[in-house]
Amino acid sequence: MAQDKAAAILAALGGGDNVVEIEPCITRLRCEVEDGSLIDEAALKAAGAHGVMKQGTVVQVVVGPEADTLAEDIEDLR
Amino acid sequence: MSVEVGSPVAGLAAALGEVPDPVFSQAMVGPGMAIKPSGGRADAVAPIAGTVMTLHPHAFVIASSGGTAVLVHLGIDTVKLKGEGFELHVAKGDVVEAGQRIVSWDPSEVESHGYSSICPVIALEVAPEALADVREDGQVATGDVLFTVSA
């Protein structure tokens, strides 16, 4: 289940090749991507994000306190 | 069953809407309130009794046995300080009492780095109606009840 969510979030970020860095904070994933236009906000929300804040190539995905685990799962998939 | 949530720090109580971060001000991860800390280096304490579920130098989550989880965030964007100036006194998975010290930190030092030192105290993933007896404003001492959460 958690793996599915991680996979869905990674896909919505434009896939593993588009992700430069993911840093988990306590409530959110701070992600830096190559191409900001590949970010699919609707898909991130569908994957369970409470909110998405996008500024250019940096996107913060609000996922709640499971951010740490999710970030690890996403790293495993990359 | 309801759980009393105590203030992790001493300072001035404020509404979440005053927190300069949309995740907290828009209550994306849950309702709660915020404290503007007063004074210099101090301990931030556990708002409730429970297990340390998540622990960063600048933020932590305590979960009660009844399932209520409370997030305390020490300042805004303080993840960028990478733990500098924060001293942890517990480990992830530890069982703590309400009022037990979790982290020592210095709000004035955080401010000197250009970050807000305001501390959101959030009841994670509950409806706003789950909060009662919310402290409106004014000075609070460490451990003063900020609100109660019904699980």
- CA B120/CA B132 separation, integer angstroms: 17
pLDDT of B136 reads 82
- A66 falls in which pLDDT band (50, 70, 90)? confident
Of residues B14, B13, B16, B42, the one with CA closest to residue B28: B16
pLDDT of A1 reads 57
Sheet holding B131-132, edge to edge: B2-6, B145-150, B131-132
- Using one digit for the tens of pLDDT, what is the confidence trace for A50-62? 999 999 899 999 9
Structural domains in chain A, CATH included, are 2-77 (3.30.1360.60)
Residue A62 contacts B, CB cutoff 8 Å: yes
User: Mutate which of A25, A26, A29, A45 to test chain B, going by most B C-beta atoms within 10 A?
Assistant: A26
- Cβ–Cβ of B29/A60 closer than 8 Å? no
Both structure tokens of B35:
């404290």
Of residues B10, B89, B75, B77, the one with CA closest to residue B42: B10
Question: Which of A23, A53, A65 shows the shortest C-beta gap to B71?
Answer: A65
Could you tell me if A77 and A18 are in contact, meaning their C-beta atoms sit under 8 angstroms apart? no
Both structure tokens of B32:
């709660």
Could you tell me if B120 and B78 are in contact, meaning their C-beta atoms sit under 8 angstroms apart? no
Of residues B75, B29, B23, B69, the one with CA closest to residue B47: B69
Partner residues linked to B63 by β-bridges: B51, B69
- In the block, tokens 């991680």 appear at A6
* pTM greater than 0.80 (yes/no): yes
Q: Is A31 a catalytic residue?
A: no
- Using one digit for the tens of pLDDT, what is the confidence trace for B114-125? 999 999 999 998
Compute the average pLDDT of residues B6-11: 98
> DSSP characters for A37-55?
GG--HHHHHHTT-SEEEEE
User: Residue B50: which region, alpha, beta or left (left: phi > 0; alpha: psi -120 to 50)?
Assistant: left
- Using one digit for the tens of pLDDT, what is the confidence trace for B95-114? 999 999 999 999 999 999 99
Question: What percent of chain B lies above the pLDDT cut of 70?
Answer: 100
Closest-approach residue (CA) in chain A for B22: A53
CA B62 to chain CA mean position, Å:
10
pLDDT at A26 over 90: no
Mean pLDDT, all residues of chain B: 95
Partner residues linked to B5 by β-bridges: B147
Question: Which of B22, B26, B56 shows the shortest C-beta gap to A26?
Answer: B56
Mean pLDDT, all residues of chain A: 93
Structural domains in chain B, CATH included, are 2-150 (2.70.70.10)
Residue A55 contacts B, CB cutoff 8 Å: no
- Using one digit for the tens of pLDDT, what is the confidence trace for B27-37? 999 999 999 99
